[in-house]
C-alpha cells in the first residue's frame, strides 16, 4: 500500500470530463438568470458597480465574451482538447465570479455551489498541468495530496459547524427540508412533526458522517472509504435539497481518493472511459517553474490548517489573532475562497422570502416560469435572498448595508410605473406539533425613489438558541463586531 496518494491517467481523465460536463450544465443553467448573476447594477444585475472590476467584466459585452470562453473551456475539458489551457480559462472565470465577487455581489459567489465550481476547477488545472507538462512528476504528487487534505478539511469543518450550530440539539435538517427556499419536497415535510424521529436521525447522522468520513480521508488505509461515505450521503441529499450542481461536483471529487493501480481504479477503467488530453504543443515546464508551482502548493497546504484555525478561533472565541497574522490570514483565505462551510445552518434556513411586484407574486420557488426567466428554480436565488436578509443578523448596526442590497435586488424585479416591490419575510415556527410559516415583516421598496418602508406584522420568533454566530466585524471576516471576553 502506498502512503502517498496517486491518481491514474484514466481516473484523472474521468474526473476532468465529469467536472467539465457539470460545468457545462452550470453555464447552460445560468444562461437566462445570468443577466442578473453576472451583470453589475447599472446593467440591472447584482454586482456593486462601484467596483472597477464589476464595471469592467460584468457588463453585457464582457459577459458574452466570458460566457463564450467559459463554454469552450468546458467543452475542451469534456473532450480532452488542450486541457491545460481550457482548465486555466475555466479557473480564471470561476475565480472572478465565485471568489473575487463574493463580497461585492448579491450572488455572494453563488455560495457553496459557486465555491465548488472554483475549487474543483483549481484541482483540475493543477492535475492536468502536472500530468502533461511536468515530466518530473512533482506537481502531480503534491496536488493530489493537497486536494485530498483540503477536501477532507472542508467536510470536517462543515460537519463540525453543524455540530455546534444546532444539529446536535436537533435543530437543522427539518428546517431545510420544510423550507420552500431549499427543499424539493417541502410540502410533504411541512406536515410532519418537527421533532419526528426521522428528523432526529437525519440531524445526528448528517454531521457525524461528515466528521467521521473526513477523518477517514486523512489516513491512507481508509481514505477511499471516507470519500465513498461523503459521495453516498450527498447522493441522498441531492434527492431532498435544491443545491444545484454542488452535490454531483462533490461526488465527482471522490475520484481524487481512488489510488492508482487499486481495485477501484481498475474497476473504473473497465466501466468508464474518458478521452485523455490531446495536447497540441510539446511545451514542457522548465524545472524552476515546476519547483515554484510545487512550492506554492506546499505552502498552501501548510497555511491551510492555520487559516482554518484562525477562522474557528474568531468564530467561537470571538477574538482576533495578533493583528499582522489576522490580517494576513484573512487576506489569504479570501484570495483563495477558504471558508467554513455554513451550509444549512439554522441561521440561514429558518426563514424564506416571497417577492411581489405590485399585487402579483413574482417568486416561483422551485418552479420554472418564463416570465421571470426561470430564476427561481436556481438555488443561487435562494442564496442571494438569504445573504441579503442575513445582513440583518450579521451586520445589524449597518442599516445602509442592508438597504443598499435590498434596493439593488428590487431593481431587478420588473414593476409598473408607480408600483412597489414587496418582500414578504416568513419565519419557520417549529416549536409546535407542525411547522408554521409565520409572516412577520414586509419590506416595501420603491425602486425609483430608493425608499424602503418596513411594516412589522407581528413579533419576530425567538432566534436559534444553538447558533454561535454573532454580529460580524465586516464581510469576509469571522471576527465579531465587538471583541468577546474569554
Residue 412 lies in a domain: yes
SS3 97: helix
Q: Report pLDDT for 296.
A: 97
SS3 track for 197-237 = HHHHHHHHHHHHHHHHHHHHHCCHHHHHHHHHHHHHHHHHH
Which of 120-124, 262-266, 449-453 shows the highest mean pLDDT? 120-124
Q: Is the pLDDT of residue 371 over 90?
A: no
Provide the whole-model pTM.
0.94
Residue 468 lies in a domain: no
Q: Average of pLDDT values for 150-171?
A: 92
**Nearest-5° Cα angle at 356, 353 to 358:** 160
Q: Which residue has the cell 481550457?
A: 86
Q: CB of 253 within 8 A of CB of 151?
A: yes
The single-letter DSSP state of residue 47 is B
Residue 426 lies in a domain: yes
**Nearest-5° Cα angle at 35, 59 to 369:** 170
Distance between CA atoms of residues 132 and 282, nearest Å: 9
Q: pLDDT by residue (tens digit) across 4-62? A: 799 999 999 999 999 999 999 999 999 999 999 999 999 999 999 888 888 899 999 99
Residue 423 lies in a domain: yes
Q: Report pLDDT for 464.
A: 56
State percent of the chain over pLDDT 70.
96
SS3 300: helix
Q: Average of pLDDT values for 311-321?
A: 91
Q: Is the pLDDT of residue 434 over 80?
A: yes
Neighbour count for residue 129 (Cβ, 10 Å): 21
Q: Report pLDDT for 1.
A: 45
Query: Which set of grid coordinates corresponds to residue 393?
Result: 443578523
Q: Is the pLDDT of residue 70 over 90?
A: yes
Residue 398 lies in a domain: yes
Q: pLDDT by residue (tens digit) across 78-137? A: 999 999 999 999 999 999 999 999 999 999 999 999 999 999 999 999 999 999 999 999
The total number of structural domains in the chain stands at 1
Question: Kind and range of the H or E element at 62?
Answer: helix 60-79
Question: Kind and range of the H or E element at 143?
Answer: helix 138-164
Distance between CA atoms of residues 348 and 384, nearest Å: 11
Residue 177 lies in a domain: no
Backbone torsions φ then ψ of 480, nearest 5 degrees: -75, 165
Q: CB of 466 within 8 A of CB of 346?
A: yes
Q: Average of pLDDT values for 452-469?
A: 77
360-361 vs 351-357, strand pairing mode? antiparallel
Q: Report pLDDT for 282.
A: 67
436-446 vs 360-361, strand pairing mode? unpaired
Lowest mean pLDDT among 149-163, 173-187, 189-203, 338-352: 338-352
Q: pLDDT by residue (tens digit) across 396-411? A: 878 899 999 999 999 9
| H-assigned helices in 255-378 | 263-271, 287-312, 323-335, 346-349
Q: Report pLDDT for 484.
A: 55
End-to-end Cα spacing for the chain: 46
Q: Report pLDDT for 272.
A: 81
Q: Report pLDDT for 140.
A: 95
Distance between CA atoms of residues 404 and 410, nearest Å: 10
Residue 480 lies in a domain: no
Q: Is the pLDDT of residue 486 over 50?
A: no
421-429 vs 360-361, strand pairing mode? unpaired
User: Rounded mean pLDDT of the chain?
Assistant: 91
Q: Which residue has the cell 454531483?
A: 248
Q: Is the pLDDT of residue 2 over 60?
A: no
Provide Rg for the chain, Cα atoms. 23
Full residue range of the structural domain in which residue 366 is found: 346-456
Partners of 443 in beta bridges: 423, 454
Residue 269 lies in a domain: no
State percent of the chain over pLDDT 90.
75
Distance between CA atoms of residues 346 and 390, nearest Å: 11
Q: Is 256 exposed, middle or buried (0-12, 13-18, 19+ CB in 10 A)?
A: buried
Starting from the edge strand earliest in sequence, which strands make up the sheet with 351-357, in order? Answer: 360-361, 351-357, 421-429, 436-446, 451-456
Question: Kind and range of the H or E element at 52?
Answer: helix 52-57
Amino acid at each position: 500500500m502506498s502512503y502517498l496518494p496517486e491518481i491514474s491517467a484514466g481516473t484523472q481523465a474521468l474526473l476532468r470530463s465529469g467536472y467539465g460536463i457539470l460545468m457545462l450544465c452550470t453555464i447552460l443553467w445560468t444562461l437566462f438568470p445570468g443577466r442578473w448573476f453576472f451583470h453589475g447594477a447599472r446593467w440591472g444585475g447584482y454586482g456593486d458597480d462601484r467596483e472597477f472590476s464589476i464595471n469592467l467584466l460584468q457588463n453585457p459585452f464582457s459577459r458574452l465574451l466570458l460566457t463564450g470562453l467559459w463554454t469552450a473551456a468546458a467543452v475542451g475539458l469534456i473532450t480532452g482538447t488542450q486541457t491545460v489551457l481550457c482548465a486555466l480559462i475555466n479557473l480564471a472565470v470561476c475565480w472572478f465570479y465565485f471568489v473575487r465577487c463574493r463580497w461585492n455581489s448579491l450572488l455572494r459567489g453563488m455560495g457553496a455551489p459557486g465555491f465548488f465550481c472554483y475549487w474543483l476547477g483549481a484541482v483540475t488545472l493543477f492535475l492536468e498541468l502536472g500530468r502533461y507538462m511536468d515530466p518530473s512528476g512533482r506537481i502531480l504528487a503534491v496536488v493530489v495530496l493537497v486536494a485530498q487534505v483540503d477536501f477532507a478539511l472542508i467536510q470536517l469543518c462543515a460537519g463540525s459547524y453543524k455540530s455546534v450550530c444546532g444539529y446536535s440539539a436537533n435543530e437543522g435538517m427539518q428546517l431545510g427540508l420544510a423550507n420552500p427556499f431549499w427543499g424539493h419536497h417541502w410540502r410533504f415535510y411541512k406536515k410532519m412533526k418537527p421533532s419526528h424521529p426521522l428528523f432526529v436521525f437525519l440531524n445526528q447522522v448528517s454531521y457525524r458522517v461528515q466528521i467521521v468520513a473526513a477523518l477517514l480521508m486523512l489516513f491512507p488505509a481508509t481514505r477511499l472509504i471516507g470519500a465513498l461515505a461523503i459521495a453516498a450521503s450527498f447522493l441522498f441529499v441531492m434527492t431532498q435539497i435544491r443545491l444545484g450542481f454542488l452535490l454531483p461536483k462533490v461526488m465527482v471529487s471522490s475520484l481524487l481518493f481512488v489510488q492508482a493501480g487499486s481495485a477501484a481504479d481498475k474497476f473504473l477503467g473497465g466501466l468508464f472511459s474518458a478521452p485523455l488530453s490531446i495536447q497540441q504543443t510539446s511545451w514542457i515546464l522548465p524545472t524552476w517553474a515546476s519547483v515554484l508551482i510545487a512550492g506554492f502548493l506546499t505552502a498552501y497546504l501548510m497555511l491551510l490548517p492555520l487559516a482554518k484555525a484562525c477562522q474557528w478561533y474568531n468564530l467561537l472565541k470571538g477574538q482576533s489573532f495578533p493583528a499582522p497574522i489576522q490580517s494576513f490570514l484573512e487576506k489569504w483565505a479570501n484570495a483563495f475562497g477558504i471558508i467554513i462551510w455554513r451550509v444549512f445552518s439554522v441561521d440561514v434556513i429558518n426563514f424564506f422570502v416571497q417577492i411581489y411586484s405590485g399585487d402579483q407574486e413574482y417568486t416561483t420557488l422551485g418552479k420554472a416560469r418564463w416570465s421571470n426567466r426561470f430564476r427561481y428554480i436556481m438555488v443561487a436565488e435562494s442564496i442571494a435572498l438569504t445573504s441579503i436578509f442575513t445582513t440583518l443578523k450579521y451586520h445589524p448596526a449597518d442599516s445602509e448595508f442592508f438597504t443598499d442590497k435590498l434596493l439593488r435586488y428590487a431593481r431587478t424585479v420588473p414593476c409598473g410605473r408607480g408600483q412597489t416591490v414587496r418582500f414578504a419575510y416568513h419565519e419557520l415556527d417549529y416549536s409546535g406539533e407542525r411547522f408554521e410559516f409565520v409572516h412577520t415583516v414586509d419590506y416595501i421598496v420603491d425602486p425609483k425613489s430608493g425608499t424602503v418602508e418596513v411594516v412589522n406584522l407581528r413579533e419576530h420568533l425567538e432566534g436559534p438558541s444553538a447558533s454561535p454566530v454573532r454580529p460580524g466585524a465586516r464581510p469576509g471576516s469571522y471576527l465579531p463586531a465587538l471583541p468577546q471576553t474569554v
